[in-house]
Each structure stands twice: as C-alpha cells, then as structure tokens.
Chains A and B, each alone.
Chain A
Amino acid sequence: MRILTGNDLKTGAVIWWTGSDWSLHVADAVDVTGREDELARVEEAERRVNVPYAIDAEMHEGQPRPAHIKDRIRALGPTVRQDLTLKPADPDIRNWVI
C-alpha cells in the first residue's frame, strides 16, 4: 500500500493523510495508491501540508506500518528520546520501529 505524508506548514510536525484530513498518527493513514500525486498537489496548493510525498507501507496488526525504518522513526519520533515520541509510555514501541 501507499500512504501520503508531509509536514504541517506552521509547526513542521509530521502528518499523515487520513482520506479527509491530516493526522499526527500514522495509524490513521489510508491507502492512496494511484491517487498520491493528485492528492499531494491539491493539499499542498491549499497549504494544508508542506512537501507531501507518498511512501510504501504494509498493514501490521490492523494498522499501516511504513516499510522503511526512516519513515517509521519519522512516524514516531527519535528512538533515543522515547519521552519525545508520540508514545512515550509504550514499552514495546521499539519493536515497532526497529
């Protein structure tokens, strides 16, 4: 599957296309295969996202998981500061990233 990501223009935060809006959580991302270029163009033009692009992902326990480690780190936060990630209290999150 392909999922669409980018950064929030004001805050720079990593965001994911949910089908109707943008979310901070990759778990909310939807498959955009075949529509990624058009969606990226429209959303960027509306300034709802900065520098959008599509990445490969796969379903993992019912939720999208980016195929590449770089995108998984991007989705969650730095592996060396769990307190700064989106899941600061999840003891198993390293297994999801690595």
Chain B
Amino acid sequence: MYRYDQYDQQMVDARVEEFRDQARRRLEGKLTEDQFKPLRLMNGLYLQLHAYMLRVAVPYGTLNSLQIRALADIAEKYDRGYGHFTTRQNIQYNWIKLEDVADILADLAKVEMHAIQTSGNCIRNISSDHFAGAAADEVTDPRPYAELLRQWSSFHPEFSYLPRKFKIAVIASDTDRAAMRLHDIGIQIVERDGALGAAFYVGGGMGRTPMVAPCINPFVPLDQLITYAEACLRVYNRHGRRDNKYKARIKILVHEMGAEEYTRQVEEEFAHLLEQGVEPPFAELERIRTFFADPPFDAGADVALDRSDPDFALWVDRNTVAHKADGYVSAVISLKPVGGIPGDATAEQMRLMGDLAKEYSFDELRVMHTQNIVLPHVRKADLHAVWTALDGAGLGSPNLDTVEDIIACPGLDYCSLANARSIPVAQRISERFAANGKTAELGQLKVKISGCINACGHHHAGHIGILGVDRKGVENYQLSLGGSEAEDVSLAKITGPGFDEAGIVDAVETAADVYLRERQDGERFLDTYRRIGMTPFKEALYG
C-alpha cells in the first residue's frame, strides 16, 4: 500500500500544528465559534448530537495493521472504546473532546493518517473497490489512480471552496462494488485495444435529489486522467449554484445544464488545460504503482478446503470471495452481528483485525462502504484459523449481502441532522430475520437505512430502502423498493405511506414474503421486483 513521502508527511504534520494553534485560540476565546467552525470542519471535526465527532479519512478504504491499531488506541484513549466505520470507507469517533483533537491528529500523523477533507465543500476521501488488487475481474488495480487523485485533490487551492462537497469513486471492473455511478464523479478504468483508459461518469449522487451519473466520456487516456478531472471540476466550480445548498451539487448542474452541454464545456476546458500542462508526470503514477504491486503470493497455496465444520462452511460460503490468485480468497469480516450496531467495532476488535491482517493477509485490511472490513488476501489453508479468531470476538457473523447485512447511518442516536433513528430499525430487522430463519432462503437482499434525506445510509440504493422522517415529532419510516448501487444501478421507489418503528420491521418482512412467493428460479429479490413491479408489494403492504 502507499507510503507517505517527505512531502505527504510534512503537509500532514504542518496541518496538525496549525490545528493545534486554532484549537488553542478557540479555547482561549480568541476565535468565535463562527470563525472556528470552518477551520474545525476542514479537519473533520463536527459538533454532533452528544459531543464533538471526528471523522478520520481512510484513503480508498485501505489500512494496515499499524494504522488500525492506532485507530483502536485512539478509541480507547480519547473516546469510549469503539469507532464507527462509515459508508464512505472512513471511521468516526463520537465522543471527542476539543482539547484532545490536536493530540489525536498527531497520533494519526504518526501512522500516515489524518482527518483532512473529511468535511467541507471540497473533494472528500476518494473511495474505491474494497477488493482492489485481489479481485479476479479487474482490468488493473484501481488504487494507484485513486491515490493519484488523492494527491491531486489534497489542499487543491482551486477546489477548496466548491459550491458543495464532492465525492469521487474509482473502480476497475465491470462489477461495481463502490456505488460508482452514485458519485459526483465515478471513474471506471477500462481496457480498449490493449490500452487502459478512464470512463468518466459525472453527476450522480444520493441525498434529497438522487441521480445516476451519465457517462460523459467513455475513454480518457490515463496520461490525461487528472487533466480531465480538473476540467470536470472547473466547469462545476464555475457554474455550480452557490445561492441554494440544496441545488449546489454537480448532479443538479449536469441535470439542469444537460449532460450534452456540460460535456461540451468540459471538453472545451479540457482542450485548454492540455495546453497548460497540469497533468502530473507519468513517472509519478509509475512511482505510486510500485506501492501497489502484488504481495508475494504462495504459488503452491493449497486450493482445497476442509468444510467438515458446518458453521465454518457457512461462513466460507457467505463471507469469502474469489481471489485472482489460486489458493487465496478475500474474507469479509462482518460488523453486523444480529442485533448489533452496523459498522461499530470496539478497540479490542480493531486490534484483533489488525493482528489477523498482519499474520494472514499481507498486513492489509479494507473498509467496505457497506460498513464491513475485508482481509483481502487470505490463504484458504488459513481460513479456519481466521474464522475461529473472528468468531470468538463476535466478528464471525456469516451474513454478507443478506438481509442481516444492513447499512445504517448513525441516525438520530448520534447525528444532529437526523430526523429519526436508523440503528434500532436495523437491529430489529436483523433480529427478526435471525429468529424467523428466512435469511438463507432470501439470499442476496440489501437493506439500507437512512435517518434523514441526506441519505448517508444509501436508502435510495437499497433493494429495500428505508428513510426515517419526522412526522409532527414522531419517527416515521418510508419504505422503498428496487434500488441498486451496483453495475445494475437503479433508484428505489417509495411504496406508499410510511410506518412506525414496529410497523417498518413488519413491512420489510411482508416485502420479503412477497418475494419468496413470487420468485422464479435464480431470481434475487431485486430481480423479482423488477419483473413483477411494485403492485404485488403494495397490495401486500397496504391491502
């Protein structure tokens, strides 16, 4: 994985000291909250429902054991013993004290981490495929390109005050595991006639106005990647609305201007920028690539697996994914125990995951946007030892992509923007299906829950989506069906009137039962919904 050079380290260290001075001045009363707020947000520090919240960037979701141990230490030393992995492949701490933040940032800097650009109207953490470098179906590892974009976008002076926040995802396979087309810019590295290039999708997103990004250029040569991204941002920065935050995202600009006209202006700006020479030297990309070379896989790794333990076999079937190297798999660590809080991990669990990464996965972990963790390169021969350790620590739930593997934002339990609680709904749904035994029969069923219209819980992209709203001071939950964040991307549609907290759990089971009744061979919930439409579900839900 990428290691900081002297410039990276100097930038991060300097920011720590800058923030230390800003926090000191705030505590001494030399800065007002109005003056301090934009400064703290630039360093990922929010004021949430119960306390300050610090969001730490995990670039394209990649961590090593040293880093996750540092995250565990921070949870224990400065927070309440746990952290929350987010749908942007980051981690958040919910109980931070302002007087500790500079020390936390210094601890992060020691392991090449920071909280820069995890808030504010700038380019946020670049996200990517959590199986990058391991997946058998990728044309190349997308992370060097994500890293190049990270370096380009960090402290970019022209893009530090955009009309609104800006999210970029990079993938390199036809299978989309990063919700690529629901980003402001989605980039897919593709192969054409033996050469690699980047397909640009611009103007997607969730939030109050969900949109699927159209492709504006199917093949940008990779030695023009940054120049093209810069052109996309420039046109947005020039024309994006600053008078209304609800219409300020690039998706609104692309929609209102029209994809064709937006593309024309991007191409015009791109031609201009090519003359300016803004592209980093190709040698820099080559330097970055060296950090992402394959680890020394064992060519003789045993491909056989002892499946005599049924619990282990179930976990293997559900939570491991094919790897490009024979004898290896990617293993998904579920942070979704039945009745648990999606995405939460204790300090002890983080340390265990770090230990397992060090011993069994070439010192690598990945954070998934679905709030789970990946050990990307595990020998099949080591899987039982890995599973045994995980299971003993409450991390062995065999539920990847099932109805129990629910995305949920922090919701009203933690978030000052939320209108309703998300986590308890996720807990009750996972408990219901664990108890009724339908999880296995349902197969792939992605449930996603947001506590407000900002859609941090990706409810628009759920096979079953749930949005919490405030109805005259009472929590109410809208049910949606038919969304997908994958390569078959679609936006979920609302079924009808909402439900109370108990009713929404019943409603999810009712929708699942319609699927079980109507499905044809091999169909997932999403396939059945797309074939039969909304009507049978509405009839079952509302009579």
Contacts and interface: CB of A to CB of B under 8 A. Distances in A.
A60 interface: no
A84 interface: yes
B413 A79 contact: yes
Given A51-B33, A69-B412, A13 B51 contact: yes
A70 B413 CA distance: 8
B511 to A, nearest CB: 24
A78 B414 CA distance: 6
A68 to B, nearest CB: 5
Contacts of A13: 50-51
A47 interface: yes
A9 interface: yes
Contacts, number: 65
Interface in A19-66: 44, 47, 50-51
Contact of A69 (B26, B424, B427, B473): B473
B423 A14 contact: no
Interface in B390-414: 412-414
Contact of B412 (A47, A67, A73): A73
* Interface residue range, chain B: 20 to 34
B47 interface: yes
Contacts of A67: 473
Contacts of A44: 33
Contact of B50 (A9, A69, A77, A80): A77
Contact of A10 (B27, B33, B412, B423): B27
Given A11-B98, A80-B341, A68 B473 contact: yes
B27 A74 contact: no
Contact of A78 (B29, B33, B50, B473): B50
Nearest to B414: A78
Nearest to B45: A12
B412 to A, nearest CB: 6
A69 B424 CA distance: 14
Contact of A9 (B27, B412, B418): B27
Contacts of A68: 473
Contacts of B49: 14, 70, 73-74
B475 interface: yes
A45 to B, nearest CB: 9
Contact of A51 (B47, B95, B421, B473): B47
Interface string B407-433: 000001110001001011001000000
Given A47-B29, A51-B33, A80-B423, A12 B47 contact: yes
Nearest to A46: B29
B413 A78 contact: yes
Contacts of B95: 12, 84
Contact of A73 (B52, B97, B98, B413): B413
18 contacts: A7-B51, A9-B27, A9-B98, A10-B98, A12-B47, A12-B95, A13-B51, A44-B33, A67-B473, A70-B412, A78-B413, A78-B414, A78-B423, A79-B413, A79-B421, A80-B341, A80-B427, A81-B413
